[in-house]
Amino acid sequence: MSTRRVEVRTQRPYELRLGRGIAGESLAAARRRSRFAVLTDERVWALHGERFGAGDAPVVIVPAGESSKSFARLETVLDALAEARLDRKSCLVAFGGGVVGDLGGLAAALYMRGIDVLQCPTTLLAQVDSSVGGKTAVNLAAGKNLAGAFHQPSGVWIDVDLLATLDDADYASGLGEVIKSAVLAGEEDFARLEANAEALLARDPDLLLDVIEACVRQKASVVESDEHEAGPRRALNLGHTLGHAIERAAGFGRVPHGVAVAVGMQQACLRSAQEGVLQDRDLPRRLMSLCRRLKLPTGLEELRESTGAALTEGELADAMRLDKKGAVWILPVRLGEVRAVEPRRPS
C-alpha cells in the first residue's frame, strides 16, 4: 500500500505521511541529522520498541500517562538530550501518544533554543490531533497545558498498524477527537462516521486511513490559516472548554482527553440551542447517537456513573475559570460552522 502525504503549509512547511508499517521511516529521516534521540514511554517501548529499531541512538523512556507532562519530567528529558550531546542540527523523535508528543515538542522547543522534532504518534488521539499543529505543553497544578510553546514538527509519520495494540479506553479517546473533526468539517465527514461506526469500532485499517487523513487535512487547513491561535484556530477547541474542566476536576488522567471532549461537545450543542446559536436542531440527537454507537458517554451523568468522579457544577465552574482558554465556548451553528462565545462579564 502506498504512503499518503499531506503538506502542512505553516511558516516552516512540513509533511505528514500516512500508511501501514511506516513508523520506522521517521528514524530514516532522523539519521540524516547530525545526531538524534528518541523519546517514548514505558508502555509504547514495551509494545513496539524492538520493531521500531532505534539501533544505538539514545532512547529516553518516561512513565506512561499524564503525570509525565510536568516540569520535573521535562527537566529530566532536557538533561538526557544534553547527556546525549545533541547539537542544534540534531533532532528528537517523539514516539508515543499525546503526552510524549507534547513533552517531546516542548523539550525540542527549549533545547538549545530549538531543535527539530519528528512526531511518530502511536495513539488515535495523537494521530488525528496533537501531532499536527505544533502545540506543545506540560500541565500545571492550576490547569492542563498551561506552560508551553508553539513548535511545529519537521515531519509526522502516522502508522495505523500501531493502533491495533491500543486498549479500548485510549481508542475511545481518539474517537472523541475524530467526531470533533467531523463536526468542524461538515456533513460529508460526519455522515461517513455515521455510516461506518461499527467498522470504525472494529479498527478497520483501510477505513482508519481514510478517517485519519480527513482529520489531519481538516486540522492542517485550520492551522495554516492561524498558526498561533489568534482567531480561526479557536474552532479546534470545540468541546474543550468543558472537556478540560472535566479532566481537571476528575484529576488529570482519570478521564481520557477525547472522552471528556465528546461530553464537552454534547454540552456545547445543548448550550448552543439554549442561546439561540444552533441552526441545525437535529445535530444534538445525531451527535448523541454517534457517541453512543462509538461507545462514548452521552452526557455528564453517564460520565459520572462510569468514572465515579463527582464532577459537580461548582468543580467544573472553578476548573473552567482556570483554563487557559478563558472559558470561551465554541458553539456549533450547524455541521461545518461554529461560533466562539465569550464568557459573560458581571455588570
Catalytic residues: 113, 135, 177, 219, 229, 233, 237, 240, 244, 257
User: Three-state secondary structure along 199-249?
Assistant: HHHCCCHHHHHHHHHHHHHHHHHHHHHCCCCCCHHHHHHCCHHHHHHHHHH
C-alpha cell at 168: 479500548
CA distance 134 to 150: 5
Q: List the one residue out of 213, 236, 256 whose CA is nearest residue 133.
A: 236
Instruction: Give the residues across from 17 on adjacent strands.
Output: 5, 157
The answer to whether the beta carbons of residues 27 and 41 sit under 8 Å apart is no
* Rounded CA separation 29/22 (Å): 12
With beta carbons less than 8 A apart as the criterion, state whether 269 and 338 touch: no
Q: Are 112 and 62 in contact (CB under 8 A)?
A: no
Gap between the Cα atoms of 322 and 324, Å rounded: 6
Q: What does the radius of gyration of the chain's CA atoms come to, in whole angstroms? A: 19
Between the CA of residue 190 and those of 169, 182, 184, 204, 207, what are the distances in Å?
Answer: 22, 5, 9, 18, 14
